Amino acid sequence: MQLSLAAFLKIIEDESVLIIDTRPFTSIMEGYVPNAIHITPLTAKYAIAMDIIRKDSPIVFILEESIAAETLAYFTKAEFTGIKGYLEGGFGTWAAEKRYDLIIDVEVDELAMDIPFDEYLMVLDCRTEADFDKSHIKNSVSIPLADMGDPGSMSELDEHFNIYILTENGDNSTLAASLLKKQGIHNIRVVIGGWEAVQSLKEKFSFETTKTKPPTDDEILLN
C-alpha cells in the first residue's frame, strides 16, 4: 500500500513501527530517513537472527522505486505480516520536505592514513568474535554484528570517538551504521570493502590477535 508523506508521518508517530530502508548501498549513501534501519532482501536474514526485526514487527518501507514491487513481494513471501505500506515516491518524497540523515563512507587507504594521527579514532570491528580473535587491526574494538540487536552492546560508544565500521566485506556495514545512528551515535564512517579491503592493503596496517590466557590455578579449582 502506497502511503502519502502525511500518512507515513502519522504511522511512524508510533515508536514501535520500524522504518526499513531497502535501497542499495549507493542510494543509502546519498541520504536516508532518520531512525530508518537499512535492511535489504539480502540482509533480512541477519536482521531476523539479530532480533532487530520479527516477522510480525510493524513495518513501513522506503523502497527503490524501480524495484518496489519485487522488494515488497520478497517480504510478503517471507511472511512478514506487519507491513503497513511504503512511502509513495520513496526517499525523494521525504528529502523534498523533511530533514534526512547521512552515512559517510571511506576508502580503506583513508582509514590507514587516519589511524596514526587521530587519537579519538576507533575501528569498530563487526565481524564474528572468532574472526576478530584470529586477526584484527591493532587497538580495534569488537562488537559482532550479531550482538548489535541489543542496544546494550553499544553502551560504551559515544560521540567523542571517530568510529570506523569494519565488516567482513562491507555488505553489512550500513546495517551496522543505521543501528548505531538509531542509538544516537552519529560520528561514524563505514569502510568500503571491509576486512577484505584491509587485507588487500595489509602493509599499511598493524595487526594483532586475541590470545586466550591459560586458566589460573584458582579458575581450575573452581571448574
Q: Mind listing the pLDDT tens digit for each residue in 55-70?
A: 999 999 999 988 888 9
Q: What integer pLDDT is reported at residue 212 of this predicted model?
A: 52
Q: What integer pLDDT is reported at residue 181 of this predicted model?
A: 93
Phi, psi for residue 84 in degrees, rounded to 5: -100, -10
Q: What integer pLDDT is reported at residue 211 of this predicted model?
A: 65
Parallel, antiparallel, or unpaired for β 104-106 and 188-191?
parallel
Instruction: Dump pLDDT digits (tens) for 131-145.
Output: 999 999 999 999 999
- Supply the mean pLDDT for the chain: 90
Q: Can you tell me the distance from the alpha carbon of 64 to that of 67, in angstroms, rounded to the nearest whole number?
A: 6
Question: 42-51, 86-95, 165-174: which range is least confident on average?
Answer: 42-51
Instruction: Dump pLDDT digits (tens) for 149-197.
Output: 888 888 888 778 999 999 999 888 999 999 999 999 999 999 999 999 9
The alpha carbon of residue 108 and the mean position of all alpha carbons in its chain are separated, in whole angstroms, by 18
Going along the chain from its start, the domains and CATH numbers come out as: 2-97 (3.40.250.10), 104-208 (3.40.250.10)
Which comes out higher in pLDDT, residue 97 or 215? 97
State pTM to two decimals: 0.87
Phi, psi for residue 161 in degrees, rounded to 5: -85, 145
Q: Which residues pair with 61 in a beta bridge?
A: 20, 86
